Structures are given as structure tokens and as C-alpha cells.
Structure 1
């Protein structure tokens, strides 16, 4: 709250000068109570008050009072009060999150049935489900940290990997929380959006505290302990946000709110982002006051009309009552939140928001044209995304190259450039082969032998055997162990060996 007050200011402060004519008009038009220089004698006080004109109006609220209050609210709205920055429309509007899950023998304790680790997996799954469309990465750590999954918006990638985590897959037991934090910071460093780290754990080695005290990334802790128990070591971390385990969804909801609050605070420190106009919030009380227009005996129609006609307004659009109180960009944002992307694209005046809405609506040529007119690296990146989705691979390559010229060492732009080049090469190679009637890897003059004699028979593979007999291809494939735990165990073991070399 204190941060919001410190950032509070007006985007169009000159509108506040209208307070001067409003105050003068209010003073001139407000009825003055009648003054009586002589007191009435010989009449009972209550009868004298009834016979005195204007005496009952000394504390009355006049129509001009309501009109001027509405004028003040509209003037404040026109001045553009703000205390937070608007998210970049070209990046995610939700904070990226790296979840570091402790996978040790202590997490197998059954005091949170069926076990602490299983309940932790349930909580992580619930959190992922609440962050639809947001990027989430997963780290598992014990004596060593391991990246289970990079930042991804696809929850279907995270779920099977999460299920495969167990203490038996970790190559080394221990508590390498500090190393896990360093790995999480590395993952977040490649993201354009400020993110956060969530540790899901049941204990923290005191030797690991120093790393958390020196980090600049928001860190949250979900403690997997029964009966609201806490981890004493975390009490020494002043900047830590600790959320205890709960049997319901309160812990997940609190984490989501805290993570989003940290994301909003990080946006306020980004000078590249525009401030978010909050003036529309004052339109609602002004609208409620305007309902008094219809009260009998209150002649404020002309004043209210003057107030509304002097308020700034955008181009006329058939959007009902919102035309009176919301700017085109605000109405476009409402349409975006309701996933009406085509309508949002028509409403937005801001080119970044318009292009992003067109991109979401599948209007790729229009979006590319909008972004091409802007001179920022984000605009060039988004133009490339629109081009590649419209299968314009060469212009997409040029757009990503432009983005890298404007911002060198941009990992996402480099990756998309490589993907675009690979797609273009594949398309051109396939087209050439199609034109010559060739198959990939088979030349026009190559001789291809067909296994006519063995057609329909099982092909045998000599290496794997079962009971001394050669197995068929189907039998051999069925013996391949695809268990996720074995996959993670082998992968983590290989990573650990590479780190030790």
C-alpha cells in the first residue's frame, strides 16, 4: 500500500486547473441561507422557526452540490490518476514462476497422508492449474539441483515429470537449496518478464540461508508440515514470504496473490512500461450521482450535460454506456479479458495493444503491418511471430534479425530466428523434392530394393534375446522401460557426472 501511495500521480495534471472554475461556479450558484437581523419576539420558538422562510434549508444538500461533486469526480478521472504500470502487451501478463521442489527422504514422511511429497505434488498441480497461460518451470533438488522442465505454458508437460519425482531418482541426498536458487535465477534471467521462485519444502539447512538473503528475486516458501508447523530458519529471512500448508485451497490462493503482487511491484520499477490510467474507477460514483438527475425538483440537467461534454472522449464507437465513461483502450482491455480479440483489435487505439489483439485474433497480416511501423525490439519480435504464423518465413527471419539488431543477445529472438531458418530450409527442401518426384534421402537415379520375400513377416533383431531366442521388433520395443522415474534417474545421474567433470 505504501508503494502505491509513493507512486501515485496524475498523467494529465493540467485538468486539475478545472477545480478553479468548479469552485467559483459552486459558490455562485449555491443558494445562500436567509439572514434575519431581527429576532421574532412574542412567538414560541418552534412556531417562529416554522414561520421563518429558509430556516429549514440551513443544512440542506442542494442539487448544485451533487452536480459539483460529480464534476470534481469527472475532472479527477480526466486528470488520469495512476499508481501502477500497465503490463507489456507483448509479453505475458502473469509472472513467470520457477517451482523448486525438495525431493528427499524426509519428504516421504506420512504425517501429511499419503506423504509430504505426494501432497506437495498435489499443491504444485493446483497452482499450475490456476496459472493457465503463465510460464512455469520445475526444479527438483536434494544434494544437487536439477532442471526438470524449462519455462513453459503447457501444463501437460509438467504433470508427468512432476509425478515421476521421488527420492530414488536423485543422484545425491542432502539440501542444496542455495544451488537450486541459483539455477532458478538462471532460468528467470532468460525471461523478459520479472518472475519469482517458489520453494516447496519441509526443512531448510541453516547453511543455505545466506543465498536467500542476498537474492534480488522474490522468493516464496510453501512449508509441507502438519498442523501449521513452521520452519524456524525461515523466521530469520526478513524478505521471505512463508505460506504454511493447509488442507484446503487457501495456501494456493494466497501464493497466487502474493506472486502476482510481487510481479506488479516489479513492473512499477520498469521505466519502459507506461503508467496505467485508473481514472475510469471514478466514473462509477459519478454515474451514480447522475441518477439524481431524475429526482423531482432537482434541476441539474444542464450542469451534468456540461460536465460530460467537457470530459475527454475517444472516437465514437457503438459500445453502449461504456462510451461515456471508458476510453477506447480501456474498452479494448475489457474485450481482451473476455477473449473477444477481434473486437478488442477494433477498439484499441494504442498500436501495441491493437497489434497484440490482432495476433490473438488470428489477423496475422494486419498484426504484422502494425508492428512493422513501430521501432522497438519487442515490436520486431512480435512482427516475426505474426509472419511465421502466417507462413511468411523469409519476412519472419528478417523481423527476428531486426529484433536482434535492436537488442543483441536476446535468447528468445535468437531461438525463434533459428527455428524460422530451419522451417524455411525444410519447406524449400520438401518443395524441391516434390517438384522432382524424389523422396527425402532417395535420389532420382538411386536403386531401391524392396523386401518382397519377407513382406509381412516379423523382422528380427539379434542383439536383444529372450530365453535364447531372437525377439521380434514388437517384442523388443515392449521391453523398453519408459517409466518416468527411470528416465529422470538416468538424466539426473548424467547431469551430476557432467558437473563433477
Structure 2
């Protein structure tokens, strides 16, 4: 027992309450209940028995309550005397932050500028995601990975300080390339639930379709954080004033609607960037928002003190029942409730105060499979089935719904199930009733494009099959002609004597050529050998001279002088130089084509 100690010793302060329990009970019994001022004594006496009228056999609850509180205090303090290996775990959640590094992020419509505010928010996200995997991607005219998925927040925080549009190899605003690069990181083996978070001021219309196409068949959602204001602001450059376009100062404006539209198309959410943690909670970016934990891939275990105090809780229960006989039912309720499955307890409790449509969003988010079994409304049940990936059942459920959005959701489920022609018909029917529904129109056009691509691929494959069939027939015909030629007496190669003579002449010619080439190679090798010998001899002489000149010198181990230290301090410290060179090399290797329609800011 030399290692015996308490993990949470402050809970031992409850022992003071246990010692004061007899005094509290005595004071409670001797005190006036207050009813004597309202009810006459002759009527109150039969209802309330004072300590003077208690029977001799009345049992005081002080002792059992003291023992119950004492045992509870020791149990909560966490008595421990042994260690056990515990595997390290990380939360089953991966997040790739895609940060806009275009010139528009230097706008000053928010103080001090959009980029500074965005980098502060990334630090807050990293702090809220302690223990979870996070990656960082930046983009302008091209996208680059700053850090892959890692649970080391200090690695990402160390890179944030040097992120600036000037380190990017070219100016632009290619949000589609940033999303594509972040999606590649998740597809390379992100554990558990993966998400993308875009932090920007706007997504150009020309790139929204590309982003939606990239995320169409992906299980990962995209959420957006909007930095900046719709009023916008100018873009200052150091020692160059503001960016101008044809003499006019450029005012770049944030577009929350465009950011929200891109997020909704992939099942994500959008929120304006705030100075509080409201946006982090709304987008569920915290570690505590992750529902599951998984063992670390490093397979590392640590020794932790085992908390054995829970055994004392079973001893405290009987004393609590003896001390509070009339409250035994409540005590049993506290015993039974923790044994009830959390999901069932939450549903039964919420069902007392909320309607099904109020409980459905949270149920679908937590466990869509179980929500599909619990919900009775066809529209809500269809949403749960859609979120769980059971698109066939979702189509059937949405078909029974009567909500205005049921037909639109049914069309989405048809598209996800691969029934593109039926999805286009469902979108058309929905647009006839709701012609102003932009999302439905966009999805309809996207599905039609996919359908046309499939038809083109099918036609190409049919043409290739036809061509392959024609080529096989041609080869068969050629084979027949070749066999006929071999059987013909007019073919010179069919004569063995002629064939041997031609082979002999060919071998003789090859031998002469090989002999001549061999002589030329030997001459070149002799010439190279002479040159190398002369060069090595001169190099040896130079090395000897250099060795003789350096022989008297000794290694200087004296400390740097003050002048040398001042000279070293003049060397510019450029921590972003490594990233700048890395991004430039990647940009040149990829040979990314500049989009003429893209703006440099």
C-alpha cells in the first residue's frame, strides 16, 4: 500500500459535512417549522410530531447518513494504489482547413485585416480540437499543403505566422483547387469522419460548379467560414497604396450567400466568422463534438493510476436508503437511470417536451440509422435514411411525404442512387411548381451533365468495340493471306537455301558493323582514359599544393567577436522562405495553367 493515494483529494472535504450531519439534524428537529403561526396548535399537533412526542423506538437517520456521505466522499476522491496500461486514443474526427491566401484577404473591412482575423480563428479551432487530427491547405492561383493531418497543434500554429499572399507563386483565387487538394488529403487515409472547412470571403461563380462536382460522390462535407463584410473594403499593399483596377481603387466584398450555397450542396453548414466561439460551436468543430474515439495508430500505451473508488459506491447505497427511507424510490431511480441506454433515455426524456420534428435534427445528426427506425414522419424518416446512405429506402419514404420539399429530396435521393434519368424527371416536376428554386435547378443541370457524360462514354466504348471487332477481322484475313504466301512456291523466303544464304549475309554484315563500332568505342575509351589520367595527375598536383599550403593552419575554436556577431545579426530571418520555395517548386512542377477569367485578388 506504499503507492496508495487519492486522485482527486479535494472531494475529502465532504467528510466535514458527514461530521456536521448530527448537528444539522438536531437543529432541524428542534426548530419551529413555521406552521404554528398559521395553524392552531390543537390542529397541528396530530400532523407534526416533535422530538418530545417521538416514540422510544424512533430510529435516527444521522448515523447511516454520516456513513453514506463518508463513503461517497472517499469514492469521489478516487482511491488508487495500482497502475494499469491504457492505450492512447484520439477522436474519430479529421478536419482539413482550406485557407484563402489571395490578395483579397488583406482587405481592411475587419480590423486589422481579414487574414489576421482568419489566422486567429484557426488558432481557436486548433485549441478547441485538442487531440483531433487537423490539416491546413492554402490557395491562391494554385493550392498547396502546409501541413498534413496531424494532432500536433503546435506544428500548424508555427506555420500560421508566415502565411501571407506574398509567399504564393502566383496571384489568383482558385478555391476549387484548394478544395480538391484538401479532399485528396482526406482520401489518402483520414480516420473516421472527415470534413472540409473553407475560410474565405467569397467563392467565384465560375468555380462553384467545379467544387460541387468534386464533392458530389464524396462522403466528406464542406463547411464554410465567411470572413469580411458585404460592404467590403480596399486592399492595401505595403509602400504601394491600394490595389487599383483601371485607375479605380478595388473594393473587394464578402459574399455570404455564395459561401452558404457551396456548403449546402455538400451537406455542410456556413457561418460568419465571429470573435467568439459561436461559429466553432455552430459548425461543431470542437473535439467534444466528436462522438467516437479510436485507438491511436501509433499503438502506444501509457500507465495511469486506476481509480478503484467506484466499488465504494455500492456500499454507500444501503446506508443512504436507511437514512432516507422515504426517499428510497428516488435513490433507486438514480441507480436505474445510469444503466439505461443513453440514446433511449434521451429520446424518452425529450419526447415529453418536444415534438418529433423538433427532436428529429438532433437525432439524425447523432445516429441517422436509429433515427430512421424511430421517426414516423415520412419526410423526417427519409432525411434520416438519406443521411445514413440508404438511398433506395429514402426514395420510397420521400414518395410518401406531403411536405413541399419531399419531391426535391426525392430527386436528390434518386441522383445519389445513380438513377439519373428519373432524377432529372423529378427535378423537372419540382421546378414546374417551384421555378425559383436555385438549388434544384443547379442539381438538375449537374445531373443532366453527368447523364450526358455517361452517354458519351457509352458511345465511345461502343465505337471502340466496333473498331476492335473490325481489326480482329482484318488480322484474321491477314493471317490467312500470310499462310497462303508461305505455301506459295513463288516466295523467296520459302526456299531453305535462299533463306540460309540471306541469313549468312546478314550475319556477316552485322559482324563487320559490330567490329567497326567496337574499334571506334575502343578509340574513344583510350582517348577518354588519356584525358582522365592527365586531369587526375593535374588534380593530384593541385591537391598536394593545397595540402602543403594549408598544413600550417590550425582550427580556430575561439568565440565569435562582437563584430562577427553583429554581422551575423544582419542576415535576414525569413521563416517563410522555405514555404515560398516549396510552393514555387510545386507550382512549376504541376505547370498549373492560369485561368484568364480569374481575378488577381
- TM value normalised by structure 2: 0.35
